[in-house]
Amino acid sequence: METRRKSMTGRLVAWLRGGRSRPLLALGLVVLLCVAARQWRFASAHVLIAGPFVAPLFIWLGAARSRLARPLAIALAVALPVLYALSTWQPGTIAPPRHDWMFAYAMVAYPLCALGLAWDRSRVDQPTRRYAIGAGALAVGVLVVGVIGFAVTSDGHRSLSTLKSQAEAVEVLPLPPGLTVAAEERRCGSSGFCDVLMTVTGAPGQAPDEIADRLAAHLVDTGWQENHDGSYDKPVGGLLDWHEHTARITRAGDAVVLQLA
């Protein structure tokens, strides 16, 4: 029995070392990425959106033939949860868009794979066609990720280096006791980004000025920084440089409007 167990273990190790296991390992990484990217509703959308970001691993596993292949594949696999953790666990900031860590991963994975292919080309007698396919796929992947990045982060009026994310009401909720969101509205511009307008009311007979003061104190207590013009800013976390969100308090009759942008 012990001999048989050792034999099975040896076969498993040999299989993991073999080239046939690489596509399955890559597939497992895609499944992990799809689970993490749970903000999309359907699994097919997960694969379509996550594909360009994990494509470097597929390209490397298919094109690399040197001893560098395994360490690089492990580095890419380890980088995925590490970047996800660094992106999402930043206390005192607004949660970044889900694709923040995906873009960061692509920015790490693509250069590593490009260096790996160059290493292979200089040290391994690799078929010219295979090398050309790997290099071409990397170039296409960079183009696709760049187009997706422009589409989801640019508002059309800023430079590509300024990344903007959608403000959400949850960033200021829950409100202090006694304050209630009576109405919530979204006003969207041509860029596709929307301002959130929340009509806040207090207890019967409570003056709008008192409601506004309580809202202002609530914003400061939850990490928003007051500006000279009376607005409030809070940084957006993540690995990329996202534009901060802004909150403004205005009075509308007997109610107070809190605007997030």
Phi (first) and psi of residue 258, to 5 degrees: -105, 115
Residue 109 has pLDDT above 80, yes or no: yes
Which of 76, 78, 134, 141 is CA-nearest to residue 108? 76
Asked if the model's pLDDT at residue 124 lies above 80, the reply is no
Q: Would you say 124 and 66 are in contact if contact means Cβ atoms under 8 Å apart?
A: yes
CA angle 250, 212, 179 (to 5 degrees): 115
Q: Decide if pLDDT at 37 tops 70.
A: no
Do residues 72 and 112 make contact, with C-beta atoms less than 8 angstroms apart? Answer: yes
Report residue 246's pLDDT band, with 50, 70 and 90 as the boundaries: very high
Phi and psi (nearest 5°) for 189?
A: -95, -175
Percent of the chain with pLDDT over 90: 25
Average pLDDT, the chain: 76
Which residue is it, tokens 């997960």? 46
